Amino acid sequence: MPKIGIGVLVSGGGSNFQALAEAARKGEIPGGEVRLVVSNRPGAGALVRAKALEVEALVFEPKDFASRAAYYERIGDEFKKRSVRLVCLAGFLMKVEPNFIRMFPGRILNIHPALLPRYGGKGMYGRFVHEAVIKSGDAESGCTVHVVDEEFDHGPILRQARVPVLPGDTPESLAARVLVEEHRIYPTAVKPMIEKLLATTNEETVP
Ligand code: GRF
């Protein structure tokens, strides 16, 4: 049976991308396959991981496009060429444009390293999130997988996992604890999406 293509957008290290690609290969996302990773930064560590995993990778920098809409149009075209039906943002630091959301309606997911709706929004990424959590004195943090809409860190929440904030935590130690959970829950959120896409694809192709 043909697989459902997954496309991943990254800006950094790419450990979540790797977790998704490996989960799919191990059969933990039945019927799903990571087909293409796109980075907005040429130096992203995710590109090294893509090479090691033998997943096709492309780099598109916004500065090379006339507009953000044109930028996302191109990325969407590359995904569609490879029959990508589900897009996963994995440490992707740009806001996606409405034209891209329209190309993949309800089929773009994001992972955020905090318990949304807390600690989300513009400027709340990477160590800034963990710094804010530690400063607040919260006893726990975690991560969230949600559907992407036109606001930063906003759409419907699909999965969350919690971790304790421990005395003496630094942004780095908390980030590392959260990241373990990110790698665990992202594939579990993708799995039912792929099942749904497989079911509708089959319906469409049955005469
Ligand atoms: C993760 O904490 C993710 O939630 C956040 O950025 C980090 C990216 O890590 N958006 P990686 O690039 O997947 O290793």
Q: Which residue, judged by its Cα, is nearest atom 7 of ligand 1? A: 91
Q: Is residue 67 part of a domain?
A: yes
pLDDT of residue 202: 60
For residues 14 and 90, the answer to whether their CB atoms sit within 8 Å is yes
Domain encompassing residue 123: 4-200
Q: Is residue 104 part of a domain?
A: yes
Rounded to an integer, what distance in angstroms lies between the CA atom of residue 38 and that of residue 96? Answer: 13
pLDDT tens, position by position, 176-201: 999 999 999 999 999 999 999 999 87
pLDDT of residue 99: 97
Q: What percent of the chain has pLDDT over 90?
A: 91
pLDDT tens, position by position, 76-116: 999 999 999 999 999 999 999 999 999 999 999 999 999 99
pLDDT tens, position by position, 11-21: 999 999 999 99
Q: What is the mean pLDDT of residues 50-69?
A: 98
Instruction: Tally the residues of the chain.
Output: 207
Which of 20, 39, 47, 111 has most ligand 1 atoms within 8 Å of CB, for mutation?
111
Rounded to an integer, what distance in angstroms lies between the CA atom of residue 16 and that of residue 45? Answer: 12
Q: What percent of the chain has pLDDT over 70?
A: 97
Q: Is residue 205 part of a domain?
A: no
**Count of domains observed in the chain:** 1
For residue 153, is it left (φ>0), alpha (ψ between -120 and 50) or beta?
Answer: left
Q: Over 160-192, what HEC string results?
A: EEEEECCCCCCHHHHHHHHHHHHHHHHHHHHHH
Token pair belonging to 145: 């997988």
Q: Is residue 111 part of a domain?
A: yes
Place of tokens 């906003």: 154
Give the model's confidence band at 206: pLDDT under 50 very low, under 70 low, under 90 confident, else very high: very low
As a whole number, the mean pLDDT across the chain is 95
Q: Is residue 157 part of a domain?
A: yes
User: Tell me, what CATH number does 182's domain have?
Assistant: 3.40.50.170
Rounded to an integer, what distance in angstroms lies between the CA atom of residue 112 and that of residue 124? Answer: 9
Rounded to an integer, what distance in angstroms lies between the CA atom of residue 73 and that of residue 207? Answer: 32
pLDDT tens, position by position, 107-153: 999 999 999 999 999 889 999 999 999 999 999 999 999 999 988 88
Give CA separation, 55 vs 8, 36, 185, in Å.
Answer: 10, 6, 21
90 CA to middle of ligand 1, Å? 6
Q: Which residue, judged by its Cα, is nearest atom 2 of ligand 1? A: 113
Say if ligand 1 is within 6 A of residue 45 CB. no
Active-site residue 130, yes or no? no
Q: Is residue 181 part of a domain?
A: yes
DSSP 106: T
For residue 27, is it left (φ>0), alpha (ψ between -120 and 50) or beta?
Answer: left
Rounded to an integer, what distance in angstroms lies between the CA atom of residue 91 and that of residue 113? Answer: 9
Q: Is residue 34 part of a domain?
A: yes
Q: Is residue 207 part of a domain?
A: no
